[in-house]
Structure 1
């Protein structure tokens, strides 16, 4: 909560926020483009309109923060805690996230285009209007997630745990989804057309409302190779 003593943080000449007592600053509209955020604690802060393009760092905590319209495009974070954060219209395009934890976060109308975030935790997230083309999320944990009216097509989604997830009107078409676990998941009007589901556990999952066709115009699924995604 803002107080009369809070002031805005001028980051124009900063390359790092290390050693700065952030508690005394109003962090709405904070600009941290190209700034090292290593060790920063933003727990439960209002970071509406945060601009973090090309920011980077290790061991960063945003837990419980309000990150509406936050911009993390091209960010590079390791060991970042986004648990219970509220994202609305946030942008993660081409971000690289290593050991990120989004448990319990809300990701409404947020964009994950070309994100590189394999082996991360998205457990129990709630998302409506999520979009992501050519996203790399293989090995991540989406157990218990509730995702609605979203598009994660032409993406690499192998070895993902979707157990207990509720997926409604989600487009996974033209994606690679090998060896995924859908145990106990509910899929309603999910588009799995032209999707590679080899080795995935769909036992007991009702696919009666889902699209699972393979068309003659299928161009294949994207493949992950190092730091790039290509068709």
Structure 2
């Protein structure tokens, strides 16, 4: 249990490190590798994870509030009961991540990579997904209706059961080679 505030964590490597009941506030992570780390009951507020490697991590009951996640690598990670609120996660890598009960709220996830991720009860509320890669990710039950995007990398077979609004239908119609005439 602890509080880490107003710090730079630089050039650290930690394999299988465990962080439990820690609050990180205004912390910048730079040139670190936290592979296979475990974060449980952790809050990150106003932290900068730009271009950091957190591959194969287990993140449970965590919150990321107003964080910079640009280029963050969370590939092959397991996320359970995680909130991303007002985060900038453009180009973040969630490739092959296993996500259950995860919520992205008011986030920028432009060009983020969710390729072949597992999404169960994942909420994407008022988030920008323009250019995001979702190929190989089953979107059944995922509500994209209040998300912003003009281009989305997705395969037609993964769209079954996905919830979209009328304006987004044209984006998906192009996947099937349809031309919409007005």
> Is the counterpart of residue 206 in structure 1 residue 168 in structure 2?
yes
Give the secondary structure class of the aligned counterpart of 1:101.
strand
Q: How many residues align?
A: 176
Partner of 1:75: 37
| Deviation of 1:96 (Å) | 0.5
Distance 1:72 1:210, change over 3 A: farther
- Residue matched to 1:7: none
1:118 to 80, 95, 99: 80
Q: Does 1:173 align with 2:135?
A: yes
Cα pair distance change 1:205/1:142, threshold 3 Å: farther
**What SS class does the counterpart of residue 125 from structure 1 fall into?**
coil
CA 1:209–1:194: 2 relative to 1, 3 Å? closer
Equivalent position of 1:53 in the other structure? 15
Specify the SS of the correspondent of 2:105. Answer: coil
TM-score, normalising length: structure 1: 0.69
Structure 1, unaligned stretches of length 5 or more? 1-38, 215-231
Mapped partners of 1:53, 1:62: distance in 2: 19
Q: Which residue of 2 aligns with 1:143?
A: 105
Q: How does 1:8-27 map to 2 (within 5 A)?
A: none
How far apart in 2 are the matches of 1:114 and 1:145?
21
Alpha carbons 1:72, 1:93 under 8 Å: kept: yes
Aligned-partner Cα distance in 2 for 1:133–1:212: 24
- Residue in 2 aligned with 1:189? 151
Secondary structure of the corresponding residue to residue 167 of structure 1? coil
Residues 104, 211 of structure 1: alpha-carbon distance in 2 compared, 3 angstrom cutoff: farther
Distance 1:61 1:211, change over 3 A: farther
The verdict on how the C-alpha distance between 1:205 and 1:92 changes in structure 2, with shifts beyond 3 A counting, is farther
Which residue does the alignment assign to 1:96?
58
Match of 2:49 in 1: 87
Contact 2:56 2:78 survives alignment (8 Å) = yes
The CA RMSD measured in Å over matched residues stands at 2.1
Residue 107 in 1 paired to residue 79 in 2? Answer: no
The structure having more radius of gyration, on CA atoms, is 1
What CA distance in whole angstroms lies between the structure 2 residues aligned with 1:99 and 1:163? 19
Bigger helix fraction: 2
2:42 is paired with a residue whose SS is strand
- 1:134 matched to 2:57: no
Match of 2:27 in 1: 65
1:154 match: secondary structure: coil
- Residues 195 and 87 of structure 1: is their aligned pair in 2 closer, same or farther, counting only changes over 3 Å? farther
Structure 1 CA distance, aligned partners of 2:15 and 2:156? 34
